[in-house]
C-alpha cells in the first residue's frame, strides 16, 4: 500500500508503534483529527504537538502550520495523508493534533522525528 510506512526502519524508527499510539489516542480522545479541528485545539491551547502530512495541499499545510507555530505547538512532518488517515481509522488526513504530553512524546520517539516548526522559531 502506497501510504504505508514500514513497521520498523533500520534507523531505529518504529512507524508501526507510532500508528498504534495514534489509534490508541483516537480511542482515548487525546488525538484530534482534521485541519479545522486541529486549528480549534490550537486556538484553545489544547494541542501539545501535531503531525501534518507532507502531501497535504499547500493551503492546508500553511493554514495549520502557521497557527500551530504561532501558538507554540511543535509540528512534525515526514508522514503522508494516507498513513495518517490509516493510523486514525479514516481516509486521507492532512493533520492531527495530540493533546496528551506522554502520548505525544511516544509518537515523536517512535517516528524518530524532530519538529519542522518550533515554538517562536517559525519553520525549520
Position 77 scores a pLDDT of 86
The domain made up of 33-113 has a fold known as 60s Ribosomal Protein L30; Chain: A; (3.30.1330)
Q: What phi and psi values does residue 97 have, to the nearest 5 degrees?
A: -120, 145
Provide the greatest CA pair distance for the chain: 38
Position 116 scores a pLDDT of 57
Q: What phi and psi values does residue 101 have, to the nearest 5 degrees?
A: -65, -40
- Residues of the chain below pLDDT 50: 1-10, 118-124
Position 120 scores a pLDDT of 42
92 class by beta-carbon count within 10 Å (0-12 exposed, 13-18 middle, 19+ buried): middle
Amino acid at each position: 500500500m502506497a501510504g504505508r510506512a514500514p513497521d520498523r526502519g533500520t534507523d531505529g524508527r518504529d512507524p508501526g508503534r507510532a500508528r498504534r499510539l495514534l489509534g490508541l489516542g483516537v480511542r482515548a480522545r487525546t488525538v484530534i483529527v482534521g485541519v479545522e479541528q486541529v486549528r480549534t485545539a490550537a486556538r484553545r491551547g489544547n494541542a501539545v504537538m501535531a503531525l501534518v502530512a507532507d502531501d497535504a495541499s499547500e493551503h492546508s499545510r500553511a493554514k495549520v502550520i502557521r497557527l500551530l507555530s504561532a501558538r507554540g505547538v511543535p509540528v512534525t512532518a515526514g508522514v503522508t495523508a494516507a498513513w495518517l488517515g490509516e493510523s486514525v481509522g479514516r481516509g486521507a488526513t492532512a493533520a492531527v493534533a495530540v493533546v496528551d504530553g506522554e502520548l505525544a512524546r511516544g509518537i515523536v520517539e517512535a517516528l524518530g522525528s524532530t519538529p519542522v516548526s518550533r515554538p517562536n522559531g517559525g519553520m525549520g
